Structure 1
Amino acid sequence: MTDALTLEQRIAMSAGATMWTTVGYADAEIPSLAMADGPMGIASGRVDERDISLLTPCPTALGASWDVELNGRVGALVGGEAIRIGVDMVLAPNVNLARSPLAGRAFEYYSEEPLLAGILGAAWATGLQSTGTASVAKHLVCNDSETDRDRMNAVVDEATLREIYLLPFEHCAQAGVGGMLTAYNRLNGQWCAEHHHVITTIVKGEWAFPGVMMSDWFGTHSTVATLSAGLDLEMPGPARFLGFKAAEAVAQGHVSEARITDAATRIARAAARFKDNKNAPIIGKAAEDLLVEAASAGFVLLRNQDNLLPLIPGRDRHIAIIGPNAAAPCYQGGTFAKIAVSPGASPPLDAILARFAPHGRIDYEPGVDPQPRLPSMPTRPARDLGDGYVSGMTVDYYDGQDADARRTASETRDTNSLVWFTGVHDDMATLNKAARIVASGVFEADQDGDHSFYLGATGPVVLRVDGQDVLAQKEAIPSSDVMGKLKSGDARSTTIALKAGRSVNIEIEFCYDPARVHGLWYGIRRPDTPEAMLKRAVDLATQADAVILMVGETSDASVESKDRSHTRLADEQIALIDAVTAANPRTAIIANVGHAFDTAWEDKAAALMIAWYPGEGFGEAIAQVLAGDREPGGRMPVSIARRDEDYPALSLKPDADGNLTYAEGRRVGYRGMADPRHTLGAGFGYADITIVAAQLLPDGGDGLRRITVTVENRSDRAGSDVVQIYRREPELALVAFAKLHMQAGERRDVVIDVLQRRLQYWRHGWRDIAAPRLFVGRSAADIAFDLALPVSESVA
């Protein structure tokens, strides 16, 4: 495929052409490929709130579905969005593991269980690629945390690496993903982009993976070591270490021509496979319905005392909706893969009102203010640019930092965070020289009190209110530290007392030096009145027949480059839970959280349901599930400990030498917990579904062990459940599962295959477990049947 190319052209292909594209040669019929970030949809390459795309549930929510077929359809939906936007390769799925509940991007991980993550991630990738769009599995490997991720060294033994952290990538390789993206961190002393053992020995060698091995953005550190390790593509472009920068290394014999040809061939093969033959099967109303179905399939019901749920419309004449996440839900996390959500997405409050209001009285109180790290900027533009915006900030771009610099462009931005990349935003911000950006708007206070103003940037910046400097960051940021500053999103703040009805002029002036990327962020937090808000919520709870209490996180609670410091909800929300449940025990708590978290308060409520980050279908899905129109179909994809110290891995801070040791080995999550509060697979729906029999079938000699499981739905409504099969040795581990959708009164026999590989462990090669026992049940703790499986130990 690359025979027509010169050596120089093949070398050039090993680095991206731009921030989001590869090098292509039309005369050789090798097209350039366009990429975009995932995994919850198609993220704007411009990181722009105006680039709206469908927002699916987060991978943890999809992991909670335990539904292979559903994940495939969601992948196909994202593939259709990629086609609409003009994207050929999507950087997803993220098949790292939720090793610790403190991981900043845990919401992007399917599970703490590698088999579940691998099977569902591969299903999603298969669905995506059915549309003609490439899937790039990430981040290879052990990028399971954010603290110092671009410097830390994950120390992992070989058995744990292969059995746990590489397993999801192996499933993706078997599914034929178009590529894999290497992680920022080091693994056992070597940068992941330079890790010959992983990239070449295992992925390209043992797995015979034919796809593209590419770096994460700015994740390369060398030329010779990177190419020699087997990396094919450095992203983004223009080249930093590979591409034309590798010509000298090839000329001097440090990198072979064969290695260059292999890299170019893999990229050309991907271009031939994924540039054309597009097919978007899920669009329009079908797409909207799928987003609601997928959200509800991930809702995990963990407690339902006296069958409080579903709240049959009309049964409870007065329902109170309380909590900040009802009106200000967290649809997604706050990474660079954040999706601009359609303004038509219905928040839970609106959808619940629409479903229940015709049948009785519905009242709402937030109880506490949402507390995002960075609040919104509720302003109107300083100037009308004729673009139809009535809210936002006027952003002016200048060709220098001096006061007399020429204004080169203007736009209105209705967001609190602006990001510019070289080669992407050159029509607005020219980042290859020192220049200035000014954002301005008008803010009108709607209540008396101290208003908090927030400001952050990747360079010197000042915020002025009515012409007076009130907040500034004076220090310049070295170009090498700009990305770190941007990812951290740290902001300064100050308070200003304002009277209701007063309008003030806001001006933010940002001066920057040359760099590949820059950012500016700001916001205003209105005065809090916590005592009055809590009292109104408690008074409402006291009067109501039942309470829907929606608590959780804000959209910037889970971010890149930062891990969490604890597993608790905000103190104000715990106080709200305590007060509301004391006032009305008939309270159903909906937790809008994207990871394992502390639920020590759960026994105070009648019901607890975890919604995760459910995407833009959240509102309709939660309204339908609360009303009983749909089942809460989820089961736990992660475990929840009774105490933080019970997690096998909690702290994600590397030691003084930069080492993060995976000391728990294979005993990740539920595997290493003696008595979790909620274990892997826990949860139930409204239907009463029971496992009534399990039988091991004779060995067919095909490398599979087959188990027939008999399941009954003993209720008068349709429902779903997950049959789960575990082994005990050398530690508790999931080996197979099946998601079942059953009609009322249905009895069904289902045959579940257990691969022989699931009954092996690594010790200088794959070895069979001697006489393993298999356990069939509805979770890692709810075991119905114990099956003996005689197997003699041998080297596979």
Structure 2
Amino acid sequence: MAETEARAVRDGDDDGADVARERAVDRALGKLDLAAKTRLLSGQDMWTLPALPEIGLDSLVMSDGPIGVRGVRWTADDPSVALPSPTALAACWDPELARRAGVLLAQEARRKGVHVLLAPTVNLHRSPLGGRHFETYSEDPYLTGRIGAAYVTGVQSGGVGTTMKHFVANDAETDRFTVDNQVSGRALRELYLAPFEAVVRAARPWGVMTAYNSVNGTTMTEHRHLVEEILRGEWGFDGFNVSDWAAARSTTAAIRGGLDVAMPGPQTVYGEALARAVRAGEAEEADVDAAVRNVLRLAARVGALAGAEPVVAEPPAPVDGEALAREIARRSFVLVRNERRALPLRPGGTVALIGAAARDARALGGGSATVFPAHLVSPLDGLTAALPEGTLTYTLGADPHTELAAAGQGFELRAVCRDRAGAVIGTASAPSGHLQWMGSDLPEGVTHDALHTVELAGTFTPRESGTHTFGIKGLGAFALTVDGTTYFDGVQRPEKDDPFLSFFGAPEPRAEVALTAGESVDVSLTHTVEFPADIPIKVVTFALAHAEPLRDPDELIAEAVEAARHADTAVVVVATTERVESEGFDRTDLALPGRQDDLVRAVAAANPRTVVVVNSGSPVELPWRAEAAAVLLSWFPGQEGGAALADVLTGAHEPGGRLPTTWGSLDDAPVTRVVPRDGKLPYDEGVFIGYRAWEKQGRTPAYPFGHGLGYTEWTYESLEVDGATARVRLRNTGDRPGRETVQLYLAPAEPGPDRPARVLAGFASAVAAPGERVEVTVDLPRRAFETWDEAAGAWSVVKGSYALQVGRSITDRRITTTITV
């Protein structure tokens, strides 16, 4: 019990609650036999661990995040609050706002019966080609760690666990199941491990998720050095370690490597396989006990273990999810260009709104981060509500979609389940054309043994006349019928061996049908269900896909130009698509899809007050940026994105974001390799990623790290350093109230070839009225002065002279002072 009491003292647990929980864990563990212990370490289905009534243990429920809590059902029938993307949250540069987001997500988790949120993702933007960067925060480990720690603090203040992920160096999607990322010890410590360490030390997370990839030859679910020696040993992490889904490969290597839980179930490398390994002397029961203890500790903390007081007995006060989603969105928008004060919009002026994403907004990224909000406010919705009647027009301009999307607007569908005899055995609503049932998540009365076919049936009412395209996303046998005609009856097979292709693969077009706007037709997609024996969990997933009639791109652009020419301001919304940014693949370029670049150039030529809103989760190239009057980055802005956009464009609120990652062209980007060779991906750039690499190579990005404009002006007046604290005085010299993100960079006098020219050492927000002077204080972390000494295996303070530079971005530095350590 000495170790337990030491942990309680370390965590400042004056009332001894941690000690009491550990005693409850000890009692529970002592009552379990080997079979029960190993069963607890294996998922019983897609999202849960088994209950053990004999010790008063409830089933622990996990759910994907990080922008919302989906729960155990992947369906629009079970809606969730959808916050802006993690890149957006990081663009706010406000840990307190991240904490509030966490509190809201804890509230959502409790509402859905979820104990553990599978978030936050604290991997880094190593290369702009990473396909899943919208789900991570930044290219900078310090900023990532600050935002991630605040997020964890907020979620766990609501009594819900977190799992920081994906531990570690999971920075790209190509061959993510098998890639061996080869990273130097110094780069691991100073970059990729750093956010995880910061979160552990500042927020004490209750969980970690180990990644699919290997690091320096060892897969992460078996990496004893990184998990047991560093994460648990050096940093003192005492939470549970869960595998990424289907990442665990070896029973004995995983338990020796410190993996506590193998997900999903019921077929995993743990359970009975682990019990057999222990009985055969191939695994140590002490290792099993340690893993079970970590799971029971989690259960005690979240209130799922009898006799243990949960960490949070009373959750925080309720949070208004819609209001917070809107606040985060407008605070995240980054105004990177604003010539001739194009923004905010002039009161009473006319606006031509242009772009497919203005009407059908992309609020979030694809993949496991997907949630289904109860409503979604598009830019068209938001501006229609905010602007005087008769002052707003809308034209499509250009459609970025190069493939079909899941059936949505105009479809009324229902899922019908049948057995082999064709008898109906169950039905379910299908609010979208995407159906996904995992494990036991089947309609009432339906079992896997009885289920033979699932039909998505209903009607489609087109909003445009012309040739509509219908298609199928998924693998297996399908029959597609539209308006009484069967257009496809066959089998779709995978092009490559990827267990997640059904989830993230592209839809296949299967029918072209001429339809008339407003005239409904019957549609039906029937899938014959098969459950392969080698799949660890039974999943039914497929989608009816659809695309509007294609129109001549030049004609669409001409219509947009005409609308822009007759408006005071043109607002063009450009966007990426799910086939550009999503889980499961990396990007091959940074270009906007379709004819969107042509659209912006044409509109900007017709109207000098052209504002471009960029709806993407991570950097894209903006070759026309000098031709537009204003450029506003909106990220994936969540369910209230359109309302927040109206707030910012009209000037009701200023855009508050600053870039959490560098934006530039692919040709200039210093780190671009994400494709392994012979199964290996060397991180040859060492500690030089992001702004560190841009500066080292002397390249100029389109917009630098930390950049962002507001609607007022700021004068930096003084910088003083007292020990490890910096004080910055600044004044709002504009004519509006505003918020400024004060950024401090530390530059060694002699960085040499192996050390960045400067690194982010701190930041703070300043809020002031016009003419008001304010002071902010920023603590300088010791780590900013240290490097990892690989030979010594320790951190080392690099003594000497440093320039402490304060300003608005990595390149816009206003005041410098010299300090010596």
Partner of 1:773: 803
Counterpart CA distance in 1 for 2:162 and 2:457 is 40
Partner of 1:338: 370
Amino acid at match of 1:527: P
8 Å contact 2:51–2:60 — kept in the other structure?
Answer: yes
SS of the residue 1:615 aligns to: coil
Amino acid at match of 1:59: P
Shift of 1:369: 3.2
Structure 1 stretches lacking a partner, 5+ long: 381-390, 700-704, 792-796
Post-superposition Cα deviations, 1:464-512, rounded to whole Å, max 9, x if no partner, equal: 335544235525669x957322133222214525152665443322223
Of 650, 653, 669, the match for 1:647: 669
8 Å contact 2:460–2:521 — kept in the other structure?
Answer: yes
Counterpart CA distance in 2 for 1:753 and 1:776 is 13
Shift of 1:426: 6.6
Residue 323, structure 1, aligned to residue 355, structure 2? yes
Shift of 1:123: 0.3
Counterpart CA distance in 2 for 1:475 and 1:607 is 45
SS of the residue 1:604 aligns to: coil
Counterpart CA distance in 1 for 2:259 and 2:345 is 55
Residue 293, structure 1, aligned to residue 324, structure 2? no
Partner of 2:728: 709
Partner of 1:355: 386
Partner of 2:455: 438
Residue 585, structure 1, aligned to residue 613, structure 2? no
Structure 2 stretches lacking a partner, 5+ long: 1-24, 304-309, 533-537
CA gap of 1:373–1:528, structure 2 versus 1, over 3 A, is closer
Residue 399, structure 1, aligned to residue 419, structure 2? yes
SS of the residue 2:729 aligns to: strand
Shift of 1:774: 2.6
SS of the residue 2:292 aligns to: helix
Residue 51, structure 1, aligned to residue 68, structure 2? no
Shift of 1:710: 1.3
Tell me the number of residue pairs that the alignment of Structure 1 and Structure 2 aligns.
Answer: 764
Amino acid at match of 1:498: A
Counterpart CA distance in 2 for 1:25 and 1:493 is 48
CA gap of 1:77–1:481, structure 2 versus 1, over 3 A, is same
Post-superposition Cα deviations, 1:517-549, rounded to whole Å, max 9, x if no partner, equal: 232122221212233322221111111111222
CA gap of 1:747–1:475, structure 2 versus 1, over 3 A, is closer
Partner of 2:245: 217
CA gap of 1:416–1:428, structure 2 versus 1, over 3 A, is farther
SS of the residue 2:540 aligns to: strand
8 Å contact 2:211–2:243 — kept in the other structure?
Answer: yes
Shift of 1:351: 1.8
Shift of 1:100: 1.8
8 Å contact 1:373–1:557 — kept in the other structure?
Answer: no
Post-superposition Cα deviations, 1:362-421, rounded to whole Å, max 9, x if no partner, equal: 2221212352643242587xxxxxxxxxx4323222233xxx343311223121221222
Amino acid at match of 2:424: R
8 Å contact 2:400–2:593 — kept in the other structure?
Answer: no
Counterpart CA distance in 2 for 1:761 and 1:709 is 26
CA gap of 1:414–1:310, structure 2 versus 1, over 3 A, is same
Partner of 1:794: none
Counterpart CA distance in 2 for 1:446 and 1:177 is 48
Shift of 1:65: 0.3
Post-superposition Cα deviations, 1:685-710, rounded to whole Å, max 9, x if no partner, equal: 1121232211222x3xxxxx221211
Residue 525, structure 1, aligned to residue 534, structure 2? no
Shift of 1:713: 1.1
Shift of 1:350: 1.9
Amino acid at match of 1:726: Y
Amino acid at match of 1:273: R
Larger deviation, residues 266-275 vs 422-431: 422-431
CA gap of 1:361–1:610, structure 2 versus 1, over 3 A, is same
Q: CA-atom RMSD, angstroms?
A: 2.2
8 Å contact 1:335–1:558 — kept in the other structure?
Answer: no
Shift of 1:10: 2.1
Report matched runs for 1:212-251 at 5 Å: 212-251=240-279
Counterpart CA distance in 1 for 2:359 and 2:317 is 29
Post-superposition Cα deviations, 1:634-662, rounded to whole Å, max 9, x if no partner, equal: 00001012x3122222232211x111221
Larger deviation, residues 748-757 vs 71-80: 748-757
CA gap of 1:499–1:63, structure 2 versus 1, over 3 A, is closer
Amino acid at match of 1:671: R
8 Å contact 2:62–2:71 — kept in the other structure?
Answer: no
Amino acid at match of 1:676: P
Partner of 2:691: 670
SS of the residue 1:253 aligns to: coil
8 Å contact 2:719–2:726 — kept in the other structure?
Answer: yes
Of 395, 401, 421, the match for 1:365: 395
Larger deviation, residues 497-506 vs 457-466: 497-506
8 Å contact 1:301–1:685 — kept in the other structure?
Answer: yes
Partner of 1:685: 710
Partner of 1:721: 740
Partner of 1:784: 814
Partner of 2:347: 313
Shift of 1:427: 4.0
Amino acid at match of 2:729: T
Partner of 2:575: 552
CA gap of 1:781–1:282, structure 2 versus 1, over 3 A, is farther
Larger deviation, residues 191-200 vs 435-444: 435-444
Counterpart CA distance in 1 for 2:789 and 2:164 is 26
8 Å contact 2:764–2:777 — kept in the other structure?
Answer: no
Counterpart CA distance in 2 for 1:4 and 1:448 is 68
8 Å contact 1:431–1:513 — kept in the other structure?
Answer: no
Shift of 1:81: 0.7
Residue 736, structure 1, aligned to residue 762, structure 2? yes
Of 26, 34, 38, the match for 1:11: 38
Counterpart CA distance in 1 for 2:783 and 2:525 is 59
Residue 661, structure 1, aligned to residue 682, structure 2? yes
8 Å contact 2:742–2:766 — kept in the other structure?
Answer: yes
SS of the residue 1:513 aligns to: coil
8 Å contact 1:154–1:661 — kept in the other structure?
Answer: yes
Partner of 2:15: none
Post-superposition Cα deviations, 1:306-326, rounded to whole Å, max 9, x if no partner, equal: 111111422x2x222222222
SS of the residue 1:313 aligns to: coil
Amino acid at match of 1:257: E
TM-score w.r.t. length of structure 1: 0.92
CA gap of 1:740–1:473, structure 2 versus 1, over 3 A, is farther
CA gap of 1:87–1:171, structure 2 versus 1, over 3 A, is same
Counterpart CA distance in 2 for 1:160 and 1:535 is 51
CA gap of 1:280–1:554, structure 2 versus 1, over 3 A, is farther
Counterpart CA distance in 1 for 2:317 and 2:555 is 47
CA gap of 1:432–1:192, structure 2 versus 1, over 3 A, is farther
Counterpart CA distance in 2 for 1:476 and 1:372 is 21
8 Å contact 1:312–1:628 — kept in the other structure?
Answer: no
Shift of 1:445: 5.0
TM-score w.r.t. length of structure 2: 0.89
Partner of 1:635: 658
Shift of 1:557: 4.1
8 Å contact 1:322–1:550 — kept in the other structure?
Answer: yes
Amino acid at match of 1:526: E
SS of the residue 1:514 aligns to: coil
Partner of 2:7: none
Partner of 2:508: 492
Residue 201, structure 1, aligned to residue 223, structure 2? no
Counterpart CA distance in 2 for 1:445 and 1:69 is 45
SS of the residue 2:163 aligns to: strand
Residue 415, structure 1, aligned to residue 415, structure 2? no
Counterpart CA distance in 2 for 1:337 and 1:282 is 26
8 Å contact 2:125–2:133 — kept in the other structure?
Answer: yes
